[in-house]
């Protein structure tokens, strides 16, 4: 599932290439025709992300909300530039990894994962014509004079009013790129410590903290040397402060680089390999049965709420 860094990158590309322009909205697939009819012909006035949710406001107080879910992705064509804004970084070259996400023109679920969608996306290359012909099952197309964005396979794609947006935002936990650092830290600690639910489950609860998915969950728990099954009310405030600081840092790296880089200190060829391959940029995620990079103990794999959970039984005692 695309995690918070991807959605922030998507929102910032819309800010750079779509905000201030009239958007032609359509639903080539037909499943969002009514919503597209509401949005088409309107200027996109702002776009932002909170956790895994993206919100775009169009003139007339019409809002588009998108949650990519497991298989959703945006593909951009035409003029595609990005300014990463809050991180202070600008327009890095596209980075394409072994799963088909290049951090600039195809952001979301890896292409090989999208083939498991019920919609069965056709992954042939986009043509050079303008505007390009829709490829696969495009739920929503947003088109300006120079930029095109195609949305495939989202869990949620809907038009809301201001009250509807507020109701969604009220359900979300703190996002380090949105809230004040200290306020977010207090909210995160308070939400975790009032629950006896395992911390590995709480980190995936978007009402506790926004944007963390399966990969960041596993990596943050390892970096904190924390047993995933520790009840939230038994995690110390100091540990939770360190975890909030780590999420603050990792999310910014993910937005800047375009990949979830969770191993610190990589340089040269090791860094380049990590950009290209997930297996070279994580401590435990996806490494079941392989030796822990720190202690050599085989990485354990279990299921927590129907999602794969990776951890080191020794380092995370």
Which residues are identified as catalytic?
2-3, 52, 307
The closest of 24, 133, 137 to 73, measured between CA atoms, is 137
Residue 60: beta bridge partners? none
Element (H, E) at 45: strand 42-50
- C-beta contacts of 283-290 below 8 A and 24+ residues apart: 283/219, 283/222, 283/223, 283/312, 284/218, 284/219, 284/222, 284/310, 284/311, 284/312, 285/214, 285/215, 285/218, 285/219, 285/310, 286/310
SS3 assignment, position 247: helix
Q: Is the Cβ–Cβ distance between 72 and 109 less than 8 Å?
A: yes
The closest of 266, 308, 268 to 285, measured between CA atoms, is 308
Close Cβ partners of 315 (under 8 Å, ≥ 6 residues apart): 222, 225, 292, 294, 295, 297
* Beta-sheet strand order (sheet of 106-108): 106-108, 73-78, 147-152, 140-143, 22-26, 42-50, 53-58, 62-67, 156-160
The pair phi, psi for residue 210, each rounded to 5°, is -95, 135
Element (H, E) at 21: none
């Amino acid at each position: 599932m695309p995690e918070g860094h991807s959605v922030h990158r998507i929102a910032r590309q819309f800010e750079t290439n779509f905000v201030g322009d009239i958007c032609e909205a359509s639903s080539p697939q037909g499943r969002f025709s009514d919503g597209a009819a509401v949005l088409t012909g309107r200027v996109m006035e702002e776009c932002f992300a909170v956790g895994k949710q993206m919100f775009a406001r169009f003139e007339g107080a019409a809002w588009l909300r998108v949650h990519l879910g497991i298989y959703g992705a945006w593909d951009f064509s035409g003029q595609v530039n990005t300014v990463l804004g809050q991180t202070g970084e600008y327009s890095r070259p596209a980075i394409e990894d072994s799963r088909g996400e290049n951090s600039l023109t195809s952001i979301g679920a890896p292409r090989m994962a999208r083939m498991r969608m019920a919609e069965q996306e056709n992954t042939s290359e986009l043509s050079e014509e303008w505007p390009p012909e829709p490829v696969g099952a495009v739920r929503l197309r947003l088109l300006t004079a120079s930029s095109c964005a195609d949305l495939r396979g989202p869990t949620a794609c809907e038009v809301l009013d201001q009250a509807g947006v507020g109701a969604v935002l009220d359900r979300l936990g703190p996002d380090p790129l949105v809230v004040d650092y200290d306020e977010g830290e207090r909210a995160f600690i308070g939400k975790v410590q009032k629950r006896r639910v395992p911390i590995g489950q709480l980190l995936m609860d978007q009402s506790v903290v926004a944007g963390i998915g399966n990969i960041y969950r596993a990596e943050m728990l390892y970096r904190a040397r924390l047993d995933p099954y520790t009840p939230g009310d038994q995690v110390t405030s100091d540990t939770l402060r360190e975890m909030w600081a780590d999420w603050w840092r990792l999310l910014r790296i993910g937005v800047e680089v375009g990949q979830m880089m969770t191993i610190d200190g990589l340089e040269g060829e090791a860094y380049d390999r990590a950009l290209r391959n997930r297996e070279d940029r994580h401590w435990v995620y996806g490494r079941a049965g392989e030796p822990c990079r720190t202690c050599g103990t085989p990485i354990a794999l279990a299921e927590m709420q129907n999602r794969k959970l990776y951890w080191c039984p020794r380092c995370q005692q």
